[in-house]
Structure 1
Amino acid sequence: MAGPIKSVLFVCLGNICRSPTAEAVFLHKVKQRTLAIEVDSAGTQGFHTGCAPDERSQQAGEARGYSFEGLKCRKVEKQDFEYFDLIIAMDEVNLRNLQSECPEELHEKIHLFMSFSALEEDIVPDPYYGGKKGFEYVLDLIESASDGLLNYITRRNT
């Protein structure tokens, strides 16, 4: 992948919990560093297209100062693979789904989110069927991986 990274797409299954949380957290951190990076999120499935992110995700994120204003669930589209510089999967299932849809010459854009974190966790687990602690844990993982991803982008772009 040549050139600076100017856009990032976060992807989970339904774009209802993990990827919109990642979008909100990452966008907040991008603004704090006054960087010019476009941030979006999507799901490999379109179960919740047009809906706002899960209320539990919003409550957990807003309690830490993140805004979900204007975020709406959507499905990954074919043009996303060409458009975004990085496509970040929350887990291996979504990674494989993305790789199966993505033209082979663009596979280098797709990464597991937790590969940018120093934490031991390999994936961002789906908190949808869990309790409040699951959403808090997902936020912890996303904050860590966001910092690592921003450091990676900053190094790549300089």
Structure 2
Amino acid sequence: MMTKVLFVSMGNVCRSPSAQAVFQRMVDEAGLSDFVRADSAGTHAFHIGEGADARATAAARKRGFDISSHVARQVRPEDFQEFDLILAMDWDNLSTLQHQCPRGLQHKLMLLMRFANEYEEATVADPYYGGPDGFNKALDYVADACQGVLELVRKRATQYQAA
């Protein structure tokens, strides 16, 4: 059984592709690639078809993550059905997702930072209009929260293997 995780930000060019890359590396290193799939999307259509923001790409590269081949997309109606966890970067994106999400699937929607252990912030702030420090801080938050998400999906994978 595959667990599918969707990371969601506003334009899908900074935070969500970074979270996808960080989480995918964690999944691969944990040997869970056969059980977990990650993707990312945006709540808005601002950047559909564009690559990741150059500043996000540079910050990720400095930490050994490659998001240079990322292509931004918008959340699709079928994503609510397909993904098991849909993790928003902030309250605005969570609210947008809640309005789009069909009844009976709302339980899949959460803030990513709900899974953080080191940081107490509720959201990953949008670094798009700021400087490089914002992109680094976003990566710090994402890495922390993704570790918590990894623990959840590891438990699910273990339960599926035991069944």
Same fold (TM over 0.5): yes
Q: Indicate the residue corresponding to 1:14 in structure 2.
A: 11
Where do residues 103-118 of structure 1 align in structure 2 (5 Å cutoff)? 103-118=102-117
Where do residues 58-69 of structure 1 align in structure 2 (5 Å cutoff)? 58-69=57-68
Given that residues 9 and 43 in structure 2 are in contact (C-alpha distance below 8 angstroms), is that contact kept between their aligned partners in structure 1? yes
Q: Indicate the residue corresponding to 2:83 in structure 1.
A: 84
Please point out which of 8, 25, 29 is paired with 1:32. Answer: 29
Given that residues 17 and 128 in structure 1 are in contact (C-alpha distance below 8 angstroms), is that contact kept between their aligned partners in structure 2? yes
Given that residues 52 and 68 in structure 2 are in contact (C-alpha distance below 8 angstroms), is that contact kept between their aligned partners in structure 1? no
User: What code does the residue aligned with 1:19 have?
Assistant: S
Q: Within 2, Cα distance between the matches of 1:34 and 1:68?
A: 21
Given that residues 23 and 38 in structure 2 are in contact (C-alpha distance below 8 angstroms), is that contact kept between their aligned partners in structure 1? yes
**CA offsets per residue over residues 101-148 of structure 1, 9 Å max, x none?**
001200111110000002211000000011111100000000000101
Unaligned runs of 5+ in 1: none
Given that residues 5 and 85 in structure 1 are in contact (C-alpha distance below 8 angstroms), is that contact kept between their aligned partners in structure 2? no
CA RMSD across the alignment:
1.1
Q: Within 2, Cα distance between the matches of 1:54 and 1:138?
A: 13
SS at match of 1:39: strand
SS at match of 1:156: helix
Superposed displacement of residue 67, structure 1: 1.6
SS at match of 1:111: strand
SS at match of 1:78: coil
User: What code does the residue aligned with 1:57 have?
Assistant: A
**CA offsets per residue over residues 25-45 of structure 1, 9 Å max, x none?**
111111111113111100000
Q: Indicate the residue corresponding to 2:70 in structure 1.
A: 71
**How high is the TM-score relative to the length of structure 1?**
0.94
Q: Which is further off, 62-71 or 143-152?
A: 62-71
Superposed displacement of residue 156, structure 1: 3.0
Given that residues 5 and 38 in structure 2 are in contact (C-alpha distance below 8 angstroms), is that contact kept between their aligned partners in structure 1? yes
User: What code does the residue aligned with 1:123 have?
Assistant: T
Superposed displacement of residue 70, structure 1: 2.6
